[in-house]
Amino acid sequence: MGYALGITAAEFAVMLGLLMGLIAPVMVWVERRMCAMIQDRPGPNRLGPFGLFQPLADVFKFFFKEDLTPAAVDRPLYLIAPALALLPALTTFVVIPFGPPLEVAGREVDFTVAGTEAGVLLFLALASLGVYSLVVAGYASNNKFSLLGGIRASAQMISYELALTLTVLAALLPVGSFNLQEIVAWQREHVWMAAPQALGFLVFLVAAFAETNRLPFDLPEAESELVAGFHTEYSAFRFASFFTAEYVNMATLSALGVTLYFGGWSIPFVDPPETWWLAALYGVVGLFSKVALFLFLFVWVRWSFPRFRYDQLMRLGWKVLLPLALVNVIGVAAATLAGWL
């Protein structure tokens, strides 16, 4: 019991370190530099090599800025909203396996912080809690722009969660398990899920953009119409919490996409080494190099596409993505029954 708890704590610490210490700051840098590249300007390039220390300066700035609480806000809700953003963002990653299951010192270690049988369902459950931060922030700010942002967020997240969940279920059908480690094993044995379920992956990708509130689906913020949407009234570190949560959510959903459709931590044609720490390194490199490609796509799309109008967003979600996801589930179920997969 104590031993297993120690391993879980260590894995959780590594995961938090990677997400908060590496992905979030690096992504801020990548976002700003790539946006500059796409817009044909240099971007932040003064602090450190290639401006790499810029995120560090940003973090300090967020720490030392004045933490403003407007007088008219609903104080308790206003204060917990940023925590509600970070909590699901930082815990959802626990079900993603980041290495091959191994024996370390005679004990099974499956390189998943929470290797439960409910794996994917737990992921979806935790991820579905993220919307509360947006809605609560929008309500508590007592500001019409924030309120509109919050209302939009709730409707958008619910609509796209349906399509997302349906595609995820379709990806599980041929494997017959909710455990992500087994899904990776299935893909290593057969083929990356993206090949037989290209349609499902497409729907998943679009829904993932909507679930993370990234352009072209960033209606809850929509700076050209809602100032900054649900986080208009937030400053300093509370704003940074929303900011960090967005990047961590992107990384987490990317990791789910990689695990479901692109073989997870496995590297094609290379078997994991026997030594446990080498195997761990192999898994982390395999997973995060693919996640990095996904994140690159997120940034690329953000600076290339215009925003959807709200009615277009709803139409896309309910009249295009949901039927496509249903067709995908039924098709995959039939193919699985017929034994083609």
Closest by CA position to 96, among listed 188, 6, 180: 180
User: Based on CB atoms, which residue is closest to another protein, 80 or 297?
Assistant: 80
CA distance 40 to 19: 30
Question: Residue 47 in contact with residue 53, Cβ under 8 Å?
Answer: yes
Tokens 């990317």 sit at which residue?
Answer: 254
User: Based on CB atoms, which residue is closest to another protein, 33 or 231?
Assistant: 231
Residues in touch with another protein (CB under 8 A): 74, 77, 116-118, 121-122, 124-129, 131-132, 135-136, 138-139, 147, 150-151, 154-155, 157-158, 161, 165, 178
Q: Minimum distance from CB of 26 to another protein (Å)?
A: 29
Q: Minimum distance from CB of 74 to another protein (Å)?
A: 8
User: Based on CB atoms, which residue is closest to another protein, 127 or 185?
Assistant: 127
Q: Minimum distance from CB of 18 to another protein (Å)?
A: 24
CA distance 126 to 174: 24
Closest by CA position to 95, among listed 261, 265, 256: 256
Q: Minimum distance from CB of 206 to another protein (Å)?
A: 19
Q: CA dihedral defined by 292, 298, 304, 307, rounded to 10 degrees?
A: -170
CA distance 246 to 61: 19
User: Based on CB atoms, which residue is closest to another protein, 129 or 326?
Assistant: 129
Q: Minimum distance from CB of 176 to another protein (Å)?
A: 11
User: Based on CB atoms, which residue is closest to another protein, 24 or 126?
Assistant: 126
User: Based on CB atoms, which residue is closest to another protein, 8 or 128?
Assistant: 128
Question: Residue 35 in contact with residue 299, Cβ under 8 Å?
Answer: yes
For residue 10, the Cα-to-chain-centroid distance in whole angstroms is 22
Q: Minimum distance from CB of 88 to another protein (Å)?
A: 10
For residue 267, the Cα-to-chain-centroid distance in whole angstroms is 21
